[in-house]
Amino acid sequence: MSEFLLYVLIGFLAQLVDGTAGMAYGLSCRTFLKVFFGMPASIISAVVHWAEAPVSLVSGISHFSLGNVDRSLLLRLLLPGVLGGLCGVYLVVQIGSHFEHLISVYLLIMGLLILWRALRPSRPRHTVPKRFLIPLALIGGFLDASGGGGWGQIVGGTLLAGGNDAKKTIGSVNVAEAFVTLVEAVAFFAMLGEIKSYLPIIGGLVTGGILSAPLAAWCCMKVPTRPLLIAVGVLIILCNLSF
């Protein structure tokens, strides 16, 4: 029971961060699971995506119903994101035991990127050219699957930093993430097989995420994003400095 409550706490904190700042659910979950349980990279990424799939689906439906979606942007991100995710699943499952240090480096870089985005001063922005969207989604899907998270940081963060409309970008990236995450979760199930032994972890993460969602929505309105991103970036960096 104590371990299950820890999974609930991890899911709660990860969703609190993601719901408030719009990113870092996967990276937060992966970092906590790695630090507290030392699970293999392939299992952590699979568990995170199995837990994230239903949450992402609900989030995507909500954004779509509210009109927060640019259909042209969504279509440009969707297929390459799925293809990149499938490649990432294959890589982490096949060579996961040799991939741990690379993933720690990746997470360290993501932590630095989050910290940099939080600390840099505001500046004039320009829209990201459409020709960059397909390779951006490919990279985002690949690193999201192989590293246990990063779609929001890489795809959404790049588009927002480039000057794309915030509401349409966040909505479109979230809807695409719902499909990308779902395909990755199915691919992990197909390649790893039995998931029964991981159901307590998945159930804990999902339960914590559901409990955290209303608070995260309130925090999104009340808590400044910059201090939260700084805290998340520092936490991820510190947890991955020992690779």
Read off the pLDDT of residues 142-164 as tens digits, 9 standing for 90 and up: 988 887 777 877 888 778 767 77
- Say which residue, 134 or 126, is predicted with more confidence: 134
Q: What is the pLDDT of residue 116?
A: 83
Q: What is the pLDDT of residue 142?
A: 92
Ramachandran area for residue 70 (φ above 0: left; ψ -120 to 50: alpha; else beta): beta
- For the chain, the domain total comes to 1
Tens of pLDDT, residue by residue over 44-80, are 888 888 888 887 777 778 778 878 789 999 999 999 9
Tens of pLDDT, residue by residue over 104-131, are 787 788 778 878 877 877 655 556 778 8
| Distances from the Cα of 194 to the Cα of 100, 113, 186, 198, angstroms | 22, 35, 12, 9
Q: What is the pLDDT of residue 51?
A: 87
| Burial class, 197, CB count within 10 angstroms (exposed 0-12 / middle 13-18 / buried 19+) | exposed
| Burial class, 236, CB count within 10 angstroms (exposed 0-12 / middle 13-18 / buried 19+) | buried
User: For 106-110, which contacts have Cβ atoms below 8 Å and span 24 or more sequence positions?
Assistant: 106/143, 106/146, 106/147, 106/150, 107/27, 107/30, 107/31, 107/147, 107/236, 107/239, 107/240, 108/236, 108/237, 108/240, 108/241, 108/243, 110/27, 110/147, 110/149, 110/150, 110/153, 110/236
- Give the amino acid at 9: L
Q: What is the pLDDT of residue 126?
A: 58
Domain that includes residue 90, residue range: 2-239
What rounded mean pLDDT belongs to the chain? 81
> What's this model's pTM, rounded to 2 decimal places?
0.77
The secondary structure of residue 120, as a DSSP letter, is: S
Under 8 Å between Cβ of 19 and 212: yes
| pLDDT more than 90, % of the chain | 20
Under 8 Å between Cβ of 146 and 99: yes
